[in-house]
Every structure is written in structure tokens, then in C-alpha cells.
């Protein structure tokens, strides 16, 4: 059956939509967010670099998955504001029985849906264009949101008059390991979700009606903040809806359940120091609250002395950076595997009481060229730089240890040397994770980004163009397609500056621990 489009009041095919797949999901999460998106779009929070990278990754994975269904016609609109052309082209292609259509767009009762891939069902009777529909996700599984997303697409496509033989989600298989050329049929897993779409068909129809009413309303819905603000996705109107919540609040109490955070909020308790003495908290949470109230922290000198007694000179302060390509680039890697590409290493040869307090620690570093597999040159350089004696201090040892284990598995000729390095690792996070050293400025966190301003306020990540590991990963991956040599050199300099500050921060943190027990 050919696609049919709903006529507008003038009898012409309707092309404007009230809801789309994304705004439907937004409205299902929070009707207020949908209303603001439609009527106060400029209030949206700026798109973060990390979120933009996620969107690009999804687009790139979707394009790659098309190779599973070759020979298709791309019905994508010229711009996001020209979906009418895409709808018209899709209608024509379906009527003609096109074998494969990419980005097929449909409109039904004011709801727009675009399907990543449509493949004609060859088992359909002659003259009846019936299709199998495929939605591509860059995730490694199928969530309830994805099922609802697919159900809406099915509701729109079938409502628009398209016969759908099957509806599937194509997602990345996390168990895939690259061996030689990329095997798309092994990389992607295809799962039929037709039954789930049918189960949610009536629900979709009801919610479409409700959400249209939200869009047409004259006033923003009165919906307070809640767990829905971050579930299933962080809302991009947090800055608007949460403006009455201070930057440091009960929502920052470490490891306090979301339920309890909102329980306090609903009781009118927002400031950390205002949490009642009889409110059930763990010992660490109670310390955070009491420290905020009194302005006093805690320094357990015996515990810190014990920690300092576990390290041996020379000291190596080590930090890794890694990136996680969704599609494995290198031999023997899995989707989203952490690939180390950079390290910074500061070295102090003698303890402070040997008269070297003011000596500048030696600094070594490595940053792989973007493109070739960085793992062997990374490990070769690290093993040469880290020596064979003395403690290797890291911050959160599970990360560096995990990457070293993976490197040893990949390069068994270095396994023994890697094990020796791992045996020397000491986690500098330990005194802070255990709250042997805690100040109110840490605000319940023991990450290096929270500890450094409390102990060494003269050092700051805010001066850097790259300020966190996620940004470093994005910047490095961007070098793969950067044609400008000057731009590549600038990004590499920024990466080196960021990673260097991470290990210099560790040097200063250790010095603060040493001063605390003097």
C-alpha cells in the first residue's frame, strides 16, 4: 500500500509536524521540557562537547550500518527544516517499491518519524510494497526508551499507510572483537522489536494526544524538578528549572540515593549544612554535612602516616588518558574499549628530608600520533620511563591497572614487566576516599578535580582549554580527521598541558599530605 499523507484544511498534503520522535521522547520524560523546547527554545542549556560527541557518534554509526543494506536511496532532508521534501520523496519511493531507503520520513496526525533504513520485503505479494524497518543505535543494548522510540515510529509508519513486515533495532554487539577487516555483520546485532511496538501501540496513541495538548497549552506545565530531570537523559533545561537550587546542595551529598536527595528537597532542605542531625546518613555523609556546617574538616594523622609509610622513593606520579571508539579501530579491540594514547609522568628521586624540597620534579610524557595503533609505542615508552624501582603513584588505580592488564594481554612479551609496574602502584586517592584527609572545600568528592583546589588552590584546570578526561578523549579522536597541521599541533599542545597538570597536581597533593603530619 502506498504512503498516504494527512491533508490539511486546504486539501493539500500536510508537511509541518507538531511532534517528532525526539520531542515525543522528550515529552514522555517531562511535559514541561517539551513545552519549553517548543516555546522557549533559547532557554536550553548550551550543548556540551561530550554531548555533541555522542550525537556525532550516533550519526556516524548510523551511516556505517547502512552498509548492511547496500544500494539504498537517501531520503534525508537538505536541512532539518525541510522535512516536507523528505516526506514527499519517501512517499514516492515507497509507492514505487524502492528496494532500500535510508532516512525514510513519514508524517501522521502531525507526528514526524524518520526511519534509519527501510528494506522491501521480497515475500510480499506482487504490487504490495511491504517493508522491514531498521532503527540503528550506537549503544550496546536495547532500553525501554528505545522500545518506546520504535513503537512511535511504527505508529507513524503504519498510520501513514505503510505496511511493515518487521521492525528491528540494530545495535552494537559489545562481544565483538576485531580480527582483520571490520566485520559489520558481527559488529552489529539485529533484534526484532515488533512485538514490543504492538504492545505499546495504544499507549503511543494516547500519549501523542496528551503531548499535543501540552504543546498547544497557553502556559508552561507546573512540574517541579525530580528524578525525571536525568532519566532517561539529562534534560537540557536544567539551568532553567534548577536555578533555585544552589551550586552546592543536598544533591551533592556523596552516595546519597536519589530518593533521599529529593526527599530532603521536598522537605525544603536544600543546603548541605541544613540537613538535620537525626537524618539517617552514613558516617562519610555525616562528615560532609558536619564539615559544611562547622567549616572544619578532618585530618587523621595516623592513617596518613601509615599511607606515607607505604611508598618508596624514587616516586613516579603517573596518569593515563584514553579514548573509546564505538567501532573498533585496532586489531584485537572491542567496541568502546579504552585505548590509552597518552601519559604524563613526574618523578621525584629523594624524600623531602634529604634536602630536595624545592627541587622541580623531573617530567616525562608520551602522546601518540593519531591514527596508528598507539598501544605498543605507549607501553614501550612507559616501561622505559617508569624505571624498575620505587612507587608508582596514580589517582584511582583501577583505571591505570585495568589499562595495564589489557596492554599485557595484548603484548605478552611485556607481561612480566607490566606486572612489575603494577606491583609498585600506590593509589594516592586512598587517604581521600577513606576521608583520612577531608576539608569542606572538597564538597564530598575525592576526585583530583575536587581535592586539588582544596589543597593547592594556585593550580587550576580552569586556565586550560582541555579540563577533563572526556574532553581529552574527544580532542584526541578529533585529530584523526584534522587536516590542518597547525591545528593538530595546537590540540596536541593542549593535550600535553592537561595531562601534565594531572600529575603535577598529584605531586602537590602528596606534598600536602606530608605537611599534614609534620
CB 43 within 8 A of CB 35: no
Tell me the per-residue pLDDT of 332-362, one tens digit each, with 9 for 90 and over.
Answer: 999 999 999 999 999 999 887 654 445 689 9
Tell me the per-residue pLDDT of 32-74, one tens digit each, with 9 for 90 and over.
Answer: 999 999 999 999 999 999 999 999 999 999 999 999 999 999 9
Output the pLDDT for position 357. Answer: 47
Average pLDDT over residues 6-28: 71
Output the pLDDT for position 191. Answer: 98
Write down the architecture of domain 19-215 according to CATH: Alpha-Beta Complex (3.90)
pTM: 0.91
Long-range contacts from 98-104, C-beta under 8 angstroms, 24+ separation: 98/72, 98/73, 99/71, 99/72, 100/69, 100/70, 100/71, 100/72, 100/73, 101/72, 101/73, 101/75, 101/131, 102/66, 102/72, 102/73, 102/74, 102/75, 102/76, 103/74, 103/75, 103/76, 104/75
- Position 371 confidence tier, pLDDT thresholds 50, 70, 90: very high
CB 435 within 8 A of CB 298: yes
Q: Please count the other Cβ atoms lying within 10 Å of the Cβ belonging to residue 175.
A: 10
Q: Which sequence spans correspond to the domains of the chain? A: 19-215, 245-295, 301-516
Q: 101 forms bridges with which residues in the sheet?
A: 73, 118
Average pLDDT over residues 375-398: 97
Tell me the per-residue pLDDT of 289-320, one tens digit each, with 9 for 90 and over.
Answer: 999 999 999 999 999 999 999 999 999 999 99
CATH of region 301-516: 3.30.420
Output the pLDDT for position 82. Answer: 86
Tell me the per-residue pLDDT of 101-117, one tens digit each, with 9 for 90 and over.
Answer: 999 999 999 999 999 99
Output the pLDDT for position 3. Answer: 36
Tell me the per-residue pLDDT of 175-192, one tens digit each, with 9 for 90 and over.
Answer: 999 999 999 999 999 999
Which residue has 569542606 as its cell numbers?
A: 440
Output the pLDDT for position 369. Answer: 96
Output the pLDDT for position 79. Answer: 86
Lowest mean pLDDT among 87-101, 321-335, 351-365: 351-365
> Is 15 a residue whose pLDDT tops 70?
no
- Buried b / exposed e over 279-305, threshold 16 CB at 10 Å, is bebeebbebbbbbbeeeebebbeebbe
The per-residue pLDDT of the chain, averaged, comes to: 94
Amino acid at each position: 500500500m502506498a504512503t498516504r499523507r494527512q491533508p490539511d484544511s486546504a486539501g493539500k498534503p500536510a508537511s509541518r509536524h507538531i511532534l517528532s520522535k525526539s520531542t515525543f521522547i522528550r515529552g514522555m520524560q517531562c511535559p514541561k521540557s517539551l513545552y519549553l523546547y517548543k516555546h522557549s527554545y533559547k532557554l536550553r542549556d548550551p550543548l556540551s562537547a561530550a554531548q555533541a560527541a555522542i550525537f556525532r557518534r550516533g550519526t556516524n554509526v548510523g551511516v556505517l550500518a547502512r552498509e548492511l543494506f547496500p544500494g539504498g536511496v537517501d531520503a534525508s532532508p537538505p536541512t532539518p527544516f525541510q522535512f516536507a521534501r523528505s516526506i514527499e520523496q519517501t512517499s514516492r519511493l515507497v509507492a514505487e517499491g524502492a528496494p532500500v531507503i535510508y532516512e525514510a520520513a513519514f508524517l501522521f496526525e502531525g507526528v514526524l518519524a524518520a526511519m534509519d533504513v527501510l528494506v522491501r520485503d521480497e515475500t510480499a505479494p506482487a504490487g504490495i510494497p511491504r517493508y522491514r524497518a531498521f532503527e540503528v543505535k550506537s549503544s550496546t543494548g536495547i532500553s525501554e526508551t528505545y522500545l518506546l522510540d520504535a513503537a512511535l515510529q511504527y505508529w507513524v509508519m503504519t498510520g501513514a499507510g505503510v505496511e511493515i513486515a518487521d521492525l528491528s533495532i540494530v545495535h552494537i554487539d559489545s562481544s565483538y572483537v576485531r580480527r582483520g577487516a571490520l566485520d559489520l555483520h558481527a559488529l552489529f546485532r539485529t533484534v526484532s522489536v515488533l512485538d514490543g511496538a504492538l504492545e505499546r501501540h495504544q499507549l503511543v496513541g494516547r500519549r501523542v494526544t496528551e503531548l499535543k495538548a501540552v504543546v498547544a497549552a497557553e502556559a508552561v506545565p507546573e512540574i517541579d524538578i525530580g528524578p525525571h530531570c536525568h532519566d532517561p537523559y539529562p534534560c537540557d533545561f536544567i539551568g532553567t528549572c534548577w536555578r533555585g537550587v544552589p551550586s552546592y546542595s543536598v544533591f551533592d551529598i556523596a552516595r546519597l540515593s536519589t530518593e533521599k536527595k529529593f526527599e530532603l528537597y521536598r522537605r525544603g532542605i536544600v543546603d548541605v549544612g541544613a540537613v538535620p542531625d537525626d537524618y539517617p546518613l552514613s558516617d562519610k555523609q555525616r562528615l560532609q554535612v558536619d564539615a559544611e556546617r562547622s567549616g572544619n574538616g578532618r585530618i587523621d594523622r595516623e592513617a596518613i602516616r601509615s599511607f606515607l609509610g607505604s611508598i618508596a622513593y624514587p616516586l613516579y606520579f603517573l596518569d593515563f588518558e584514553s579514548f573509546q571508539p564505538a567501532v573498533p579501530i585496532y586489531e584485537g579491540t572491542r567496541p568502546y574499549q579504552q585505548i590509552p594514547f597518552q601519559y604524563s609522568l613526574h618523578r621525584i628521586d629523594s624524600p623531602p628530608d634529604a634536602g630536595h624540597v624545592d627541587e622541580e620534579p623531573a617530567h616525562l610524557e608520551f602522546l601518540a600520533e593519531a591514527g596508528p595503533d598507539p598501544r605498543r609505542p605507549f607501553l614501550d615508552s612507559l616501561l622505559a620511563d617508569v624505571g624498575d624501582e620505587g612507587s608508582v603513584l596514580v589517582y584511582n588505580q583501577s583505571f591505570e591497572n585495568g589499562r595495564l592488564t589489557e596492554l599485557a594481554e595484548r603484548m605478552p612479551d611485556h607481561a612480566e614487566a607490566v606486572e612489575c609496574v603494577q606491583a609498585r602502584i600506590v593509589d594516592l586517592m586512598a587517604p581521600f576516599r577513606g576521608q583520612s584527609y577531608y576539608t569542606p572545600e572538597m564538597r564530598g568528592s575525592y576526585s583530583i578535580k575536587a581535592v586539588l583546589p582544596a589543597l593547592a588552590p594556585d593550580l587550576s584546570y580552569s586556565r586550560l582549554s582541555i579540563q577533563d578526561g572526556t574532553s581529552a578523549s574527544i580532542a584526541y579522536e578529533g585529530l584523526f580527521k584534522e587536516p590542518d597541521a597547525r591545528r593538530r599541533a595546537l590540540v596536541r599542545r593542549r593535550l600535553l598541558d592537561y595531562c601534565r597538570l594531572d600529575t603535577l597536581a598529584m605531586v602537590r597533593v602528596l606534598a600536602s599530605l606530608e605537611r599534614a603530619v609534620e
